[in-house]
């Protein structure tokens, strides 16, 4: 399989997971702050003229609750971004908007230069809190089923996806018998089937022991070196520090900071 670093930014044949975008209209902040309250975070030296993904003054409301408030940020190709914040800070909402699962209430979101996330889902991989796997099936059976839902000729085989995350395709255990670390890796394999260029990972270290976290971090470091862009959320900054090129902090829906990391892998 050719390296992702050598592949031009041309759309793959559609084989991404089918998502449902939520239609939103007419939502406004009840007490809109001034633009001075939401001055854009300074861009790092790694930001490019044509970012892989861009959010401009993005807000998202659920009723009268503002989950995101005027977020402006660029995501450069081949970088790993770690998104920090307490529960309710807006981390999952930001990922779901980038994945095309939610529409912003205000602002603009573009990916791969000028596409909307909803038209580029085959190039985006989204891993949620839940593993989204069937406990009664083996890892290989799960991936075979999910691959059958995809279209096009650019998807990995179940064997290739499982090998990429260090799981044995011949393992006869059902997913219900997997450890939490194995479930997270199998879930990541499901996401990798469509060979996404943008990986969005919501709490990938959740409920994992130290050894499993280390294995996951090493996997993500390899994908990052393969020129994928990774955006992951976590409560534990230290866990993701070895692969963090950039660290973002959200608080109450606002982007407080974007600072360079110090990756060691």
| pLDDT above 80: residue 89 | yes
pLDDT score of 1: 43
Stretch among 9-13, 92-96, 154-158, 164-168 having the lowest mean pLDDT: 9-13
Confidence of residue 122 (pLDDT cuts 50, 70, 90): confident
Percent of all residues in the chain with a pLDDT value above 90, rounded to a whole number: 66
Per-residue pLDDT band at 226 (split at 50, 70, 90) = confident
**Higher pLDDT pick, 193 / 20:** 193
Query: What band does 50 get if pLDDT is binned at 50, 70 and 90?
Result: confident
Whole-model pTM: value is 0.79
pLDDT band at 27 (very low <50, low <70, confident <90, very high): very low
Under the banding of pLDDT at 50, 70 and 90, the label for residue 153 is low
**The pLDDT value given to residue 82:** 97
Q: What is the pLDDT of residues 54-84, one digit of tens each?
A: 999 999 999 999 999 999 999 999 999 999 9
Q: Work out the pLDDT band at 4, boundaries 50, 70, 90.
A: very low
For position 64, what pLDDT does the model report?
95
Q: In the numeric block, which tokens belong to residue 54?
A: 């861009």
**Structure-token pair, residue 135:** 């406990």
pLDDT tier at 212 (50, 70, 90 boundaries)? confident
Alpha-carbon distance 118 to 111, whole Å? 10
Band (206; pLDDT cuts 50, 70, 90): confident
- Higher-pLDDT residue of 209, 134: 134
More confident: 29 or 221: 221
Helix pair 180-192, 139-148: axis angle to 10 deg: 30
Query: Across the chain, what does the average pLDDT equal?
Result: 83
């Amino acid at each position: 399989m050719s390296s992702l670093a050598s592949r031009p930014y041309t759309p793959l044949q559609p084989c991404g997971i089918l998502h449902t975008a939520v239609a939103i209209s007419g939502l406004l902040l009840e007490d809109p702050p001034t633009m001075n309250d939401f001055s854009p975070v300074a861009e790092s030296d790694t930001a490019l003229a044509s970012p892989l993904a861009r959010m401009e003054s993005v807000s998202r409301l659920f009723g009268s609750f503002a989950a995101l408030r005027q977020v402006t940020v660029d995501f450069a190709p081949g970088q790993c971004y770690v998104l920090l914040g307490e529960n309710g800070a807006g981390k999952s909402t930001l990922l779901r908007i980038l994945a095309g699962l939610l529409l912003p209430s205000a602002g603009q979101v573009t990916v791969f230069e000028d596409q909307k996330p909803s038209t580029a889902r085959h190039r985006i991989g989204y891993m949620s809190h839940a593993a989204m796997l069937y406990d009664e099936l083996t890892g290989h059976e799960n991936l075979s089923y999910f691959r059958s839902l995809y279209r096009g000729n650019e998807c990995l085989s179940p064997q290739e996806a499982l090998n990429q995350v260090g799981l044995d395709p011949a393992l006869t255990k059902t997913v219900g018998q997997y450890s939490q670390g194995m479930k997270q890796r199998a879930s990541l394999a499901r996401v990798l089937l469509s060979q996404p260029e943008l990986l969005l990972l919501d709490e990938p270290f959740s409920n994992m022991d130290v050894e499993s976290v280390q294995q996951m971090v090493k996997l993500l470091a390899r994908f990052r070196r393969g020129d994928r862009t990774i955006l992951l959320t976590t409560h534990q900054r230290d866990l993701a520090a070895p692969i963090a090129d950039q660290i973002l902090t959200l608080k109450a829906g606002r982007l407080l900071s974007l600072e360079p990391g110090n990756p060691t892998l």
